[in-house]
Amino acid sequence: MNLNIIIKTMMYSLKKEQLISLYLSRVIPISEIRYLIIDRKNKMETEETLDYHIERWTNIAGSHYTTHDTHFGKFSIIHDSINFVVKPDHRLDFYNETGVSYQIVELIHDLIKRNFILPGVSHQPFNYKKFMKEDDKLYSQLANLIMKEMKEMK
């Protein structure tokens, strides 16, 4: 039987490291060296993955929190159920990184908080589900206006 056929049939039952070792065995007959290479490859991949996630956290989450902490008086609002005061993001780091206004993330967080805080209140003087649907519609309109404003800035 041809070695390539054996390798192809074994590919589906071998772990990734075993498969790599099998391929390396064609050029490196010493198993200790093969396993050192595989170990080094795994460490490099782990470092690269960690570096990637640290960079993503710093650039995305960090820019969001920095913008959030400095947005007092610079946030778009719903004046009443008809009129909106739309302001672009005052810092563009988060938007440039994600293509989404940080204000929209804040609106979503607000809706989520309301969903978890208000249902526990037993003496609600209003229809909660109707209230949430209305807020969702208004926030959706505001989010669309914010994104329109942000796109016009570019």
Q: What is the mean pLDDT of residues 30-36?
A: 93
Q: State how far the alpha carbon of 131 is from the alpha carbons of 32, 76, 118, 143, in Å.
A: 66, 20, 11, 18
Q: Taking Cα atoms as reference points, which of 70, 47, 78 lies closest to residue 140?
A: 78
State the distance between the two ends of the chain, measured CA to CA, in whole angstroms: 63
Q: State how far the alpha carbon of 135 is from the alpha carbons of 56, 66, 80, 81, 99, in Å.
A: 31, 26, 11, 9, 24
Q: What is the mean pLDDT of residues 114-124?
A: 59
Amino acid in the structure at residue 22: L
How far is 86 from 142, CA to CA, in rounded Å? 7
Tokens at 13, concatenated: 């039952």
Higher pLDDT, 80 or 14: 80
Looking at residue 1, what is its pLDDT?
53
Enter the pTM of the model: 0.65
Query: Per-residue b/e over 89-128, b at no fewer than 16 CB within 10 Å?
Result: bebbbbbeeeebbbbbbbbeeeeeeeeeeeeeeeeeeeee
Q: What is the mean pLDDT of residues 106-112?
A: 87
pLDDT tens, residue by residue, 55-103: 999 999 999 988 888 888 888 988 887 889 999 999 999 999 999 999 9
